[in-house]
Amino acid sequence: MASHVLGISALFHDSAAVLLRDGVVVAAAQEERFSRVKHDAALPVQAARWCLAQGGISPADLDCLVFYEKPLRKFERILATATATFPRSWQSFPRAMHAWLGDKLWTHRALARLFSVRPDRILFSEHHLSHAASAFLCSPHATAAVLVADGVGEWATTSLWRGRADPPFLEPVAEVRFPHSLGLFYSAITAYLGFAVNEGEYKVMGMAGWGKPRFREQMAQLLRLEADGAFSVDLDYFCWHWHATESFTARLPAMLGPPRVPGSPFDPASDPESQRFADVAASAQAALEDAMLHLAGHAHRALGERALCLAGGVALNAVANHRLAAEGPFEHLWIQPASGDAGAALGAALWAWHAVLGNPRLPEIRAWCLGRRFAPAAVEAQLLELGARFERLDDPVARAAADLASGKVIGWFEGRGEWGPRALGNRSILADPRGAQTRDRVNLRVKLREQFRPFAPAVTEAAAAHWFDIPAPAEAPARAMLVAPPVRAERREEIAATTHVDGTARVQVVNPADSPTFHRLVEAFGGCTGTPVLLNTSFNLKGDPIASTPIDAMAAFYRSGLDLLYMEGCRVERPR
| Minimum distance of another protein from residue 62's CB (angstroms) | 10
If DSSP codes are grouped into helix, strand and coil, which group holds residue 188? helix
> How, if at all, do strands 410-413 and 564-567 pair?
parallel
204 binds another protein (CB under 8 A): no
| Minimum distance of another protein from residue 512's CB (angstroms) | 33
Report yes or no: 419 and 559 within 8 Å, Cβ to Cβ: no
Residues 539-568 touching another protein, rule: CB under 8 A, are: 542-544, 549, 551-552, 554-555, 558-559
CA distance 93 to 79: 8
CA distance 178 to 176: 7
> How, if at all, do strands 16-21 and 24-30 pair?
antiparallel
The dihedral over CA atoms of 215, 219, 225, 230, expressed in degrees to the nearest 10, equals -130
> How, if at all, do strands 231-233 and 307-311 pair?
unpaired
Residues 214-233 touching another protein, rule: CB under 8 A, are: 224, 226, 228-233
The interface region with another protein, picked from 322-330, 351-359, 463-471, 514-522 by CB under 8 A, is 351-359
Judged by CB under 8 A, the residue of 22, 24, 53, 83 near another protein is: 83
Distances (CA, A) of 125 to 64, 158, 346, 441, 494: 12, 17, 11, 45, 48
Distances (CA, A) of 176 to 12, 149, 233, 479, 510: 20, 9, 11, 30, 36
- Residues in the interface with another protein (CB under 8 A) total 117
81 binds another protein (CB under 8 A): yes
φ, ψ of residue 413 in degrees (nearest 5): -130, 100
Per-residue contact flags (x/-) with another protein for residues 284 to 303, judged by CB under 8 A: --------------x-----
| Minimum distance of another protein from residue 80's CB (angstroms) | 6
| Minimum distance of another protein from residue 558's CB (angstroms) | 6
Distances (CA, A) of 128 to 116, 139, 140, 289, 351: 26, 17, 20, 20, 11
If DSSP codes are grouped into helix, strand and coil, which group holds residue 184? helix
Residues 55-74 touching another protein, rule: CB under 8 A, are: 57-61, 66, 70-73
Active-site position among 13, 127, 131, 332: 13
Residues 486-545 touching another protein, rule: CB under 8 A, are: 542-544
Residues 163-192 touching another protein, rule: CB under 8 A, are: 167-168, 172-180, 191
CA distance 561 to 294: 44
If DSSP codes are grouped into helix, strand and coil, which group holds residue 60? helix
Of 200 and 454, CB closest to another protein: 200
131 is known as an active-site residue: no
Of 174 and 405, CB closest to another protein: 174
Q: Nearest to residue 355, comparing CAs of 485, 537, 170, 532?
A: 170
DSSP-derived letter for residue 171 is E
The interface region with another protein, picked from 87-95, 334-342, 413-421, 498-506 by CB under 8 A, is 87-95
Of 214 and 542, CB closest to another protein: 542
| Minimum distance of another protein from residue 504's CB (angstroms) | 24
Q: What does 320-340 look like in DSSP terms, one character per residue?
A: HHHHHHHHSS-SEEEE-TTTT
Of 225 and 462, CB closest to another protein: 225
DSSP-derived letter for residue 80 is H
Per-residue contact flags (x/-) with another protein for residues 242 to 261, judged by CB under 8 A: ---xx------------x-x
Judged by CB under 8 A, the residue of 9, 30, 54, 125 near another protein is: 125
Report yes or no: 538 and 427 within 8 Å, Cβ to Cβ: yes
Report yes or no: 561 and 445 within 8 Å, Cβ to Cβ: yes
The interface region with another protein, picked from 29-37, 435-443, 455-463, 528-536 by CB under 8 A, is 29-37
359 binds another protein (CB under 8 A): no
| Minimum distance of another protein from residue 204's CB (angstroms) | 12
Judged by CB under 8 A, the residue of 3, 21, 41, 79 near another protein is: 79
Query: Helices in 375-415 by DSSP H: which ranges?
Result: 376-385, 396-405
Enumerate the β-bridge partners of residue 431.
535
Of 518 and 557, CB closest to another protein: 557
| Minimum distance of another protein from residue 423's CB (angstroms) | 18
236 binds another protein (CB under 8 A): no
| Minimum distance of another protein from residue 522's CB (angstroms) | 30
Q: Nearest to residue 337, comparing CAs of 476, 493, 158?
A: 476
101 binds another protein (CB under 8 A): yes
| Minimum distance of another protein from residue 371's CB (angstroms) | 15
Residues 378-417 touching another protein, rule: CB under 8 A, are: 381-382, 384-387
Q: How far is CA 195 from the centre of its chain?
A: 17
CA distance 523 to 508: 14
Judged by CB under 8 A, the residue of 82, 424, 446, 495 near another protein is: 82
Report yes or no: 52 and 80 within 8 Å, Cβ to Cβ: no
> Among all residues, which ones are annotated catalytic?
13
